[in-house]
Amino acid sequence: MSSRLVVAPVTSSTDVFRQDVFKGKVVFCTGGGSGICKSMTEAMMRHGANAAIAGRNLEKLTQSAHELSRITGQKCIPTQADVRQPQQLKDAVAKTMATFGRIDFVICGAAGNFLASIDGMSENAFKTVIEIDTIGTFNTVKATLPHVRASHGSYIHVSATLHYKGTPYQVHVSAAKAGVDALSAVLAVEEGPRGVRSNVIAPGPIGNTEGLSRLSNQSSDSRNGPPLGRVGHLNDVANATVFLFSDAASYITGQVLPVDGGIEHLRTTQLPYPQSMLDPDSVKHMIKSRM
């Protein structure tokens, strides 16, 4: 006798949390012009926060800021900055402060990724991902910390689950995100006495994102894999964001929250192993793009 697969529902944060829970608050988000970080920002705005999104492409940021403002009724401003450049981040933070007068929440989400084995990756490519993900997170914290201290606010760092095991073709991101997790833990310990919290969200495969289409051969609506029956939805990460920034999580800091439907516990790889290592040409069709 077979049982029917039970698939986890997709829920909006507005069905659970008050829509004014972040009224008067401000969120600053790197990487907020698209994808997961944009959805995290949108969720915060739907609950009353204003926002500043930072990234390198001003045209894209401006379009996203206008869209977020329109659909949420809150104010979102674009702040152009490369997270590898500390002064650009300081300028973006200064613009945010000039506009809103405060920063309560920070999402450190700027990231870069592509598929490459260790022997096929250049030193510069490895360095670039470390600079964007890990050093970029440090730079973001440095630029925002005085203001987050003043508001007794909170950080969320967007990481991954790749470094929980050896993930082929992902050495650069695994190293970078392990650094992000460690940085968040130290930040939580150092800044907790000043009323600042720091946590990590580690998304698994999230459907309808550039990351999934680039890096995975999974279908975004696949029901084969995660114990909860489906690939992740942007709402899943957004809901975790609202919770961790809310007062409901006021005693949670220094933690890593995987949002992956339990797939990490299956200990599987997206590419066939060891075939993908011994005969890389045989899986080229599965590697959809590079950085």
Catalytically annotated residues: 159, 177
Question: Which phi and psi (to 5°) does residue 56 adopt?
Answer: -85, -30
Distance between start and end Cα atoms, the chain: 46
Secondary structure (DSSP) of the chain: ---PPPPPPP--GGGTS-TTTTTT-EEEEETTTSHHHHHHHHHHHHTT-EEEEEES-HHHHHHHHHHHHHHHSS-EEEEE--TT-HHHHHHHHHHHHHHHS---EEEE-------B-STTS-HHHHHHHHIIIIIHHHHHHHHHHHHHHHHT-EEEEE--SGGGS--TTBHHHHHHHHHHHHHHHHHHHHHGGGT-EEEEEEE--BTTSHHHHHH--S-TT--SSSTTSS-B-HHHHHHHHHHHHSGGGTT--S-EEEESTTGGGG---SS-TTHHHH-GGGGGGG-----
Token pair belonging to 167: 């993930």
